[in-house]
Amino acid sequence: MFARATKPLAAAVASGLAVGYVSHYSSPKLAHADAEETVPGKLSSIRASLDRIEKALGVTAPSQFKPKPTDPSTPTPHGIDIVLGAQWGDEGKGKLVDILSQTYDVCARVAGGSNAGHTIVANGRKYKFHLVPSGILNEMATCIIGNGVVVHLPSFLEELKSLELAGVQWEGRIKVSDRAHLVFDFHQTVDGNQETKLGRNKIGTTKKGIGPAYASKISRNGLRVGDLGDMETFEERFRSLAEYHMAAFPGLKIDIEKEIDYYRKIAPYVQSMTTDTIEYTNQAYTSGKKILVEGANATMLDIDFGTYPYVTSSNPSIGSVLTGLGVSPRKLNGIFGTVKAYCTRVGEGPFPTELVDAPGSTGEYLRANGYEFGTTTGRARRCGWLDIPQMKFSSTINGFTSLNLTKLDVLTGLPEILIGTKYVYKGSNLDTMPANLKIMTSPDFKVEYETMPGWTEDISTCTKFEELPPNAQKYVHRVQDLLGIPIRWIGVGPNRLDVVDRGPGWDLTEQAKSK
């Protein structure tokens, strides 16, 4: 009632005051001279007067947002948890995802393609994953290939077939985004040819066509999984894309009719797995389902943050969860950074803490003990000590809430273990990872190390942190202190459950909730 009564009152007051202004400024001489100086002040006075009148009458402006009554039956969203690679890849993300996914309802991939690889050992059997989230081993989980992933369908279908032969029942549990872009065979051919032409300056690509597929996406002439639902349009656009590539890369030959025939045959099968994963994921979140994102590659291979150009073609850091899955940052929960107790890199590019690769060397010892060979390519990985400046850079970008320290057992037997703690260039400390790669390869660039005592005891049977040898505990504590991030999980052996879990209390998100 009061709100209705004050509207005409406010209008009348404003009208009367406005008339007063017109009368006061009816003289042209006064109007021009005084209006600029006094009108703002008078308007402010009017607003203040109206505020006092409304306050006296007990009137407040209606709010657009009103608190909703609490419904006990409404599920509380858990939040989306993410496992990310914190170094140059191959850190052991899949193993943690495999362990965690047993309690999650949805597992998702959000970036990259079949260039990624995870190896899981379960029940005496080894599983190799490239496109399918390793959470598929949980029979109750639904697996999502998000819109940020690029999909080579022949490889994807082969992977599904191999899973089926291994006894994994995946049907009805894999959903592919209709917005995910396709990798074609000619993308892979172009990728390989470009890498070969670079010669000694090669990037170290897996030649899986990932870069050229993302190039098609950014050029806006690519095709998406959902396009298979309209074969007439698909054929038209495929012809255009194939002709574009043959013109751009002389010598490239594409059997367009054969390719179209292949995709026409598999289209119904692929479409049976295709869905709007953005809608599915957000509905799953709202309904209280637990969602886990399985990161691929790693932060130092990020197209923006990595050692460019020796990087992948996507963003395997925290941002890809939002853009590659289609969720709000408000829905994120735990961000679990996976880091080896040492460091490896496959392919080309700077590696500040790299060890000399020679028979009998520590680098060779780490490679042999850690079986450091690529899941996707089989290439031998370069090995080195744990790099704290690199890890701090990665932590800054991703905001890790806890760490998964893998392969601690590989360090067993070394008399001393080094930790790279500082970058020094021309006598001055560097506060971050330099964007200029020449700095890291310069003779004026140095890494300062701390030396920790090693241990000889077998740690593969340890199930609690307190069971680790004292020197192994000291190493974990030192890494944790240097990074300022709690280490929750510690890998103590190659098998699926060879992990020490210190509990949810070793996570910044859970610590904040308990305060």
Best CA proximity match to 128, nearest among 378, 402, 503: 378
Active-site pick, 152, 175, 217, 290? 217
CA distances, 423 to each of 263, 352, 433, 439, 513 (Å): 51, 9, 9, 10, 35
Amino acid 63: pLDDT: 57
Task: Indicate if the pLDDT at residue 298 is higher than 80.
Answer: yes
State residue 489's pLDDT score: 98
Cα Rg of the chain (Å, integer): 30
In the chain, the amino acid numbered 488 is: R
Q: Residue 493 is encoded by which pair of tokens?
A: 């052996």
Could you count the other beta carbons within 10 Å of the beta carbon of residue 304?
Answer: 12
pLDDT at 186: 96
| Cα gap 235→243, rounded to integer Å | 12
Please indicate whether residue 118 is annotated as part of the active site: yes
Asked whether the predicted pLDDT for residue 17 surpasses 60, the reply is no
Evaluate the omega torsion of the peptide bond into residue 309 and state whether it is cis, within 30 degrees of 0.
yes
Q: What band does 57 get if pLDDT is binned at 50, 70 and 90? A: confident
Where does the pLDDT of residue 321 fall: very low under 50, low under 70, confident under 90, or very high at 90 and above? very high
Q: Given CA atoms 493, 497, 501, 507 in this order, what sign does their dihedral have?
A: positive
Measured distance CA(292)–CA(513) in Å, rounded? 19
Catalytic residue from among 81, 90, 178, 227: 90
pLDDT of residue 7: 47
Give the percent of the chain with pLDDT over 90.
69
**pLDDT tens digits for 84-125?**
999 998 898 888 988 898 899 999 999 999 876 677 777 777
**Over the stretch 202-237, which tens digit does the pLDDT of each residue have?**
666 677 899 999 999 999 999 999 999 999 999 999
Rounded-to-integer distance, Cα 475 and Cα 454, Å: 9
Rounded Cα distance, 376 and 130, in Å: 7
Winning range, highest mean pLDDT, from 41-55, 129-143, 193-207, 267-281: 267-281
Known binding residues for GTP are: 89-95, 117-119, 381, 407-409, 491-493
Catalytic pick from 81, 98, 118, 290? 118
Instruction: Give the whole-angstrom CA distance, residue 295 versus residue 298.
Output: 8
Of the pLDDT bands very low, low, confident and very high (cuts 50, 70, 90), residue 32 is very low
Which tokens sit at 188? 């892979």
Determine the pLDDT at residue 68: 59
Rounded CA separation 319/216 (Å): 21
Nearest Cα neighbor of 334 from 171, 105, 206, 510 is 510
Binding site: what residues are annotated? 89-95, 115-119, 206, 220, 297, 312, 375-381, 407-409, 491-493
Please tell me the least confidently modeled range out of 52-56, 191-195, 336-340: 52-56
Residues making up the annotated binding site for IMP are 90-93, 115-118, 206, 220, 297, 312, 379
| 369-385 pLDDT per residue, tens | 998 987 666 788 999 99
- Supply the DSSP string of 130-182, one letter for each residue: SSS-GGGGSTT-EEEE-TTBEE-HHHHHHHHHHHHHTT---TTSEEEETTPEE
Q: Which contacts of 16-22 are long-range, i.e. CB under 8 A and separated by 24 or more positions?
A: 17/42, 17/46
Among residues 235, 153, 227, 158, which one has the least CA distance to residue 187? 153
Q: Which residue has the tokens 């006894």?
A: 167
Q: How far apart are CA 235 and CA 269, in angstroms?
A: 17
Q: How confident is the model at residue 359 (pLDDT cuts 50, 70, 90)?
A: confident
pLDDT value for 414 = 97
